[in-house]
Copies of this chain bind each other. A is one copy, B any other.
Amino acid sequence: MTPTTLQALGDILLHPRGIAIIGASPEPHRIGGQPIRALKEFGYAGRVYPVNPKYDEVQGLPCCRDIASVPKPCDIALICVPASAVAQSIRECGHVGIPAAVVLSAGFKEIGEAGQALQDDLDAAIAESGVRVIGPNCQGMLSPAEHVYCGFGAPFMYSHALTGSIALVTQSGGFGYAVMGLSEAEGTGFNHVISTGNEADVTALDLMELLLAHEKTRIVATYIEGVKDGRRLTALGHQALSVNKPILVWKVGNSETGKIAAASHTANLSAGVEMYRTAFAQGGYVELSDVYDLVDMANAFSSPHRPQGKRVAVISISGGAGVLLADVCDGLGLSLPAMSEETLVQLRGLLPGFSSLLNPIDVTAQIFNDFSVFNKVVSAVGADPGIDQLIVVMASVEGANALKLATELADIHGRLNKPIFVVSSAPAARAKEAREKFREAAIPVYPTPSRAAKGMAAVTEFERKRVAHMARATATVTRSFQKPTITMPDAPGTSLSERESKAILTAYGIPVVQEVFLTMDRAVAGDYSGIAFPVVAKLDSPDLPHKTEAGAVRVGLQNAPALKTAIDDMVQSAKAYKPDARIAGVSVQQMATGTEVIVGTVNDPYFGPTVVFGLGGIFTELLKDISMRFAPVSIEDARSMVTEIKASKLLTGYRGGLPVDLDRIAEIIHRVSWLAHDHQDRIAEIDINPIFVRPLGQESVAADGLIVLKPMEKAL
């Protein structure tokens, strides 16, 4: 059977016409029995085919002896047999043309050595049969929108009436379904929730891609412990911006303990969280860190209006909530600007002397005497062209008063074309009609000010990224220079010498310090003609990647005798440090000055070549004040890398110092990123540390550079 494409798989998984339960059980509480009961009782419109050689009938349905006897159409085989029988079941599905299987069975690679043979057999069965497989070791798939209950556990024991336009893809079934239950309790429903387990075939990334293309899904949520294809994660982020659907992402397994736990949980071992954050920052991702975040973000993105910018007006009955919102918005990068003079004139007519007309606007408890004032204020503020969106704090107003406010707000919201978020702390039961009115008007309602502001900030940031993304003509990064031809030394797994490294950097147009190379003969003989002092001297050796530690660097040498002494000393130190170190000669370099920065690349097994920028010395090493992008990096993005580090003020003119040439640094980052990209098959790391950067008109130069090659591929 030809494997179903990802696109066609969407139809099959999200709208299955028939489901066979392989390993069907007559007992509705057993894993092989739960889905049968649920599919029968909770409204699934397709056909259900129990399969078990032991029975003629299961839970009132005719039972098939084997997979070959399953009638058509059958889109999904739900596999509940022991691990040892799974591969055979998949092969049989292939024979009879069942295109997809969901494997609940556990006991594969997630248990380590003991499960590896079964995993290998399963992998082979998938390849041979062409069946698309979700799992194994997953909790299944639950689609309230289609009443599809292909899985086991508490959420498969009752009918999910609540649905929505959010789809959830989860690498942990238990966790994902807990999120589902808690979200539902808060009024947020899902259309599809799919757990992926070991991802022997279909991955979380596949499902995210499939769901971004799914018409009825407006928000994709995902719980991930790790992905294998980091660049695809990045690409999906761009796709999310293109199709204007946020991906709400909850990434766990970030701490050292968490990483180890994730490895033993779903056999996931992946890149560091900073790689993920780099991907998230560049695409349409919204990061979550609790269940309520998911509810709040879903709520925020349900507004039909998107903000034009980050300028928020807060209108509050509770002055305290206004003060809090001022703090929270500030921390989230939203601004609370003053109203225009025109708006203020209107407000002064509406509000009594003791209300604050600053933003946040405190309408005070006096509105309890005349509620109509409240919405007149909202209308006036909403019309202010300097305001992009509004947060209206209704505090604990309830019952008929709440309904009156809601009705008028819904009216304003319909006319305004700006997002309005409401904070209402009245218990839901005491403001029922008002909540219903807000729901109809698609006005997000939050129980606390902080949650409203977080939701608003996420939509604002998504919208900012989306607009920027759409404005870029193309997502491809163009090179500002001709691709150089270089010959990479054939020395897998080793560090190139500084001289070799710098030759490659020079070929890529990265400026390096002027240097004179002395052979050991010349160095020892003391023939230093043509050298302009003061200088730095370094031994040139492929065996000493960490020169400082080996005592193989001397700085500030003022004249020839000092250089001679230094060379003798260095040779002695290096021999003591590493007796068999090969020394090719001495590199004598100009003394460079300026502000030290570092440009480096790593070649992550999951995310590919990645560029890191930081200030020299302790800034990068101790304070971790760095910026990252995946290579290649456009000059524009490179400039953002420079300005987004915390200590960037040191580069832009600190304490009256001259600003350094930022364009030049950006150009260097851009070129280094292309070097890492062009030669990603060979280069493991580039470390240019330091580059002395200087003000406009003075050349910035790399004083040191190291290129480390990848080890030989095992296959070779």
Please list the residues of chain A having a beta carbon within 8 angstroms of any beta carbon in chain B: 31, 106-107, 110-111, 114-115, 139, 152-155, 157-158, 170-179, 181-182, 184-185, 223, 225, 252-258, 260-262, 264-266, 289-292, 316-324, 326-327, 329-331, 336, 353-354, 356, 358-360, 362, 364-366, 368, 395-398, 425-428, 430, 447-448, 450-451, 618, 622-623, 646-647, 649-650, 654
What are 17 residue pairs bridging A and B, where the CB atoms are less than 8 Å apart in the complex? A111-B354, A152-B365, A153-B396, A172-B319, A173-B365, A175-B319, A177-B395, A178-B395, A178-B396, A182-B448, A184-B427, A185-B427, A225-B320, A255-B331, A257-B326, A257-B327, A258-B323
Q: Pick the contact of A362 from B265, B323, B324, B647 — CB < 8 Å? A: B265
Of the candidates B177, B316, B320, B425, the one whose C-beta lies within 8 Å of that of A181 is B425
Q: Which residue of B lies closest to A366 (CB)?
A: B106
CB distance from A340 to the nearest CB of B (A): 17
Contacts of A398 in B (CB 8 A): 154, 157
Which of A321, A324, A359 has the most B CB atoms < 10 Å from its CB?
A324
Min CB–CB distance A23 → chain B (angstroms): 15
Cβ contact of A365, chosen from B174, B331, B364, cutoff 8 A = B174
**A265 touches which one: B322, B330, B448 (CB < 8 A)?**
B322
Which chain B residues border A292 with CB–CB below 8 Å?
292, 448
Contact B252 A323, beta carbon cutoff 8 Å: yes
Check B155 against A396 for contact (C-beta < 8 Å): yes
Please tell me if the beta carbons of B154 and A358 are within 8 angstroms of each other in the complex: no
- In the bound complex, residues from chain B placing their C-beta under 8 Å from that of A290 are 448, 450-451
Bound together, the chains give a CA A673 to CA B364 distance in angstroms of: 44
Q: Quick check: A154 and B448 within 8 Å, CB to CB?
A: no
Q: Are B175 and A321 in contact (CB under 8 A)?
A: yes
Contact A396 B623 (CB under 8 A): no
Cβ-defined contact, A252 with B320, below 8 A: yes
CA distance A182 to B265 in the complex (A): 36
Closest chain B CB from A185 CB (angstroms): 5
Collect the chain B residues with CB atoms within 8 Å of residue A266's CB: 319
Set B257, B318, B650: member contacting A172, Cβ < 8 A: B318
User: For A322, what are the chain B residues with a Cβ–Cβ distance below 8 Å?
Assistant: 261, 265
- For residue A320, which residues in chain B have a CB less than 8 angstroms away from its CB? 170-176, 223, 225, 252, 265
Selected from B154, B252, B426, B622, the residue in CB contact (under 8 A) with A396 is B154
Asked whether, in the complex, the Cβ of A261 is within 8 Å of the Cβ of B358, the reply is yes
Inter-chain CA distance A162–B477, complex, in Å, is: 61
Nearest Cβ on chain B to A583's Cβ, whole angstroms: 23
Which residue of chain B lies nearest to A104 when distances are taken between CB atoms in the complex?
B365
State A173–B425 Cα separation when bound (angstroms): 13
**CB proximity of A258 to chain B, nearest CB, Å:** 4
- When C-beta atoms are compared, the residue in chain B nearest to A289 turns out to be B450
B258 contacts A395, CB within 8 Å? no
Q: By the criterion CB–CB under 8 Å, are A107 and B323 in contact?
A: no
Cα-based distance from A364 to B139 in the complex (angstroms): 11
- Quick check: B396 and A177 within 8 Å, CB to CB? yes
Query: Which residues on B sit within 8 Å (CB–CB) of A365?
Result: 106, 139, 152-153, 173-174
Interchain CB contact under 8 A, B356 and A265: yes
Given A153-B396, A362-B264, the answer on whether A257 and B324 have CB atoms closer than 8 Å is: no
Give chain A's interface secondary structure class: helix
- From known contacts A172-B323, A618-B654, A647-B618, infer whether A358 and B260 are also in contact, taking CB-CB under 8 Å: yes
Chain B nearest CB from A685 CB (Å) reads 20
A174: which B residues are within 8 A, CB to CB? 316-321, 365, 395-396
Specify which chain B residues have a CB less than 8 angstroms from the CB of A185 in the assembled complex.
Answer: 427-428
In the complex, what distance in Å separates the CA atom of A366 from the CA atom of B316?
A: 51
A154 to B327 CA separation, bound complex (whole angstroms): 26
A154 pairs with B264, CB closer than 8 A? no
CA distance A140 to B453 in the complex (A): 28
Chain B positions within 8 Å of A356 at CB level: 261, 264-265
Of all chain B residues, the one with the shortest Cβ separation from A320 is B172
A290 to chain B, nearest CB (A): 5
In the bound complex, residues from chain B placing their C-beta under 8 Å from that of A254 are 327
- Contact between chains at A262 and B323 (CB < 8 Å): yes
Q: Are A396 and B181 in contact (CB under 8 A)?
A: yes
Q: What 5 A-B pairs come out closest when comparing CB atoms? A: A172-B320, A174-B318, A175-B320, A255-B330, A178-B425
Chain B's nearest CB lies how many Å from the CB of A447? Answer: 6
CA distance A47 to B236 in the complex (A): 68
Contacts A181-B425, A289-B450, A450-B289 given; indicate if A258 touches B330 (C-beta within 8 A). Answer: yes
**Complex: A155 Cα to B171 Cα, angstroms:** 44
A335 closest partner in B (C-beta): B257
B residues near A107, Cβ cutoff 8 Å: 354
Q: Which of B175, B329, B646 interacts with A324 by CB under 8 Å?
A: B175
Contact B261 A323 (CB under 8 A): yes
A179 to B316, CA, bound (A): 15
Q: A225-B323, A257-B326 are in contact. List 14 more A-B contacts (CB 8 A).
A: A106-B364, A153-B365, A154-B397, A154-B426, A171-B320, A172-B319, A172-B321, A173-B318, A178-B425, A252-B324, A258-B326, A290-B448, A290-B451, A291-B448
Q: Provide the bound-state CA to CA distance between A139 and B366, in Å.
A: 12
Complex interface: chain B residues within 8 A of A323 (CB): 172, 225, 252-253, 258, 261-262, 265
List B contacts of A153 (CB < 8 A). 365, 368, 395-396
Which B-chain residue is minimally distant from A314 (CB atoms)?
B261
Check if A354 sits within 8 Å of B448, measured CB to CB. Answer: no
Q: Which residue of chain B is the closest to A107 with respect to CB atoms? A: B354
- List B contacts of A262 (CB < 8 A): 323
- List B contacts of A256 (CB < 8 A): 330
Q: How far is the CA of A365 from the CA of B138 in the complex (A)?
A: 10
Q: Which residues of B contact A646 (CB under 8 A)?
A: 622-623
A260: chain B residues within 8 A (beta carbon)? 326, 358
- Distance of A152 Cα from B317 Cα, bound (Å): 14
Shortest Cβ distance from residue A481 to the other chain B in the assembled complex, whole angstroms: 34
Smallest beta-carbon distance A402→chain B, Å: 9
Contact A321/B354 with A255-B326, A291-B448, A649-B622 known, Cβ cut-off 8 Å: no
Q: Considering the chains assembled together, what is the distance between the CA atoms of A365 and B30 in angstroms?
A: 12
CA distance A152 to B356 in the complex (A): 21
Which B residue's beta carbon lies closest to that of A424?
B178
Return chain B residues, CB-CB under 8 Å to A265: 319-320, 322-323, 356, 362
